[in-house]
Amino acid sequence: MSQKQWIAGINAVASALEHDAEHVREVLLEAGAKNPRIAEIESRARRLDIDVRRVATQALDGVVGGMRHQGAVARYAAAKTWGENELEGLIEAAEGRALVLVLDGVQDPHNLGACLRSAAAAGVTAVVFPKDKAVQVNATVRKTSAGAADTIPVIPVTNLARTMRDLQQLGVWLHGLAGDAEASLYSLDLRGNVALVLGGEADGLRRLTRENCDSLVRIPMPGGTNVESLNVSVAAGVTLFEAVRQRSTP
């Protein structure tokens, strides 16, 4: 993430103030806006002693460069980040019920944001993805995630294959989604320490990523298509909430 950036949208700004206020440097709000949530944002920012300005809509349009802002924009000096060295502690703290989402090369920031939103709703332990050849958490991701980027551990890693092996050493089973797999997602036991591994939009799982999975499974599709044809965020939602279903069943 760049050293300074703007985030836009009521949900994104409200979440930043709630979860990561120390990095919010300024809030710009639409002059004359009647939305009560904008008034709440203004009140919270002032309580936190963060600079707030009411400006014309045209000024907000110019700041965010065409992004939909809903009358609320915030300037970040930095963003909350998690380091690779914190993953082990997160797994141990889950006490045998870790649920990790591993994303191998997602390129579209809207897809990453939607994946983070599903991950937050599913109560994941962490989301892991490579630092290279993949989109990182930027302003678009933060907006699309509707605050999820601030509420769950998101961990970019230098070497994804090595991190996957580290997860296995910590007792985490790695299950990759692949359209050519024979086993069904619904045949898995997802109640213990589990990582669900999904590939990027274009090529799916890379070779090394596949080789480091403990199993490969597919999402059954009576319509005759395969997992690669599903949007990655849809596939993430399906797999994560199958884990949630199993973990919620006595």
Query: Where among 76, 100, 126 does a domain terminate?
Result: 76
Predicted local confidence at residue 203, as pLDDT: 78
Q: What is the pLDDT of residue 137?
A: 82
Contact assessment for residue 103 and residue 195, using Cβ atoms and an 8 Å cutoff? no
Residues counted in the chain: 250
Q: What is the pLDDT of residue 8?
A: 87
> Where does a domain end: 28, 56, 76?
76
Its sign, for the CA torsion 208, 193, 144, 179, is positive
Q: What's the rounded Cα separation, in Å, for the pair 39 and 9?
A: 14
Contacting residues for 113 by C-beta, under 8 A, at least 6 apart: 140, 141, 142, 143, 144, 145, 146, 148, 149
The reply, when asked if residue 219 is annotated as ligand binding, is yes
Tokens describing residue 14: 């409200």
Return the sign of the alpha-carbon dihedral for residues 242, 247, 248, 250: positive
- 10 annotated to a ligand binding site: no
Same domain, 54 and 91: no
- pLDDT, residue 167, reads 98
Q: Encode the chain (250 residues) as per-residue pLDDT tens digits.
A: 334 578 888 988 998 898 878 888 899 999 988 899 999 999 999 999 999 999 998 999 888 877 788 999 998 765 567 899 999 999 999 999 999 999 998 999 899 999 999 999 999 999 999 998 888 887 778 777 877 777 899 999 999 999 999 999 999 999 999 988 999 999 999 999 999 999 988 778 999 999 999 999 999 887 665 555 678 999 999 999 999 999 997 7
Cα separation, 205 vs 181, whole angstroms: 12
Whether 199 has a binding-site annotation, put simply, is yes
Pair (218, 133) in one structural domain:
yes
CATH number of the domain residue 112 falls in? 3.40.1280.10
Number of separate domains in the chain:
2
> Is residue 9 exposed (0-12), middle (13-18) or buried (19+ Cβ within 10 Å)?
buried
Question: Structural domain of residue 50, as residue ranges?
Answer: 5-76
Q: Is the pTM of this model over 0.85?
A: no
pLDDT computed for residue 223 by the predictor: 67
CATH number at residue 46: 3.30.1330.30
Rounded Cα distance between 234 and 198, Å, is: 11
My answer on whether 220 and 114 are in the same domain is yes
Given 76, 98, 116, the domain boundary residue is 76
Tell me, yes or no, whether 66 and 98 share the same domain.
no
Whole-number Å distance between alpha carbons of 73 and 60: 7
Which 3 state secondary structure label does DSSP give 167? helix
Q: Give the per-residue pLDDT at 229.
A: 61
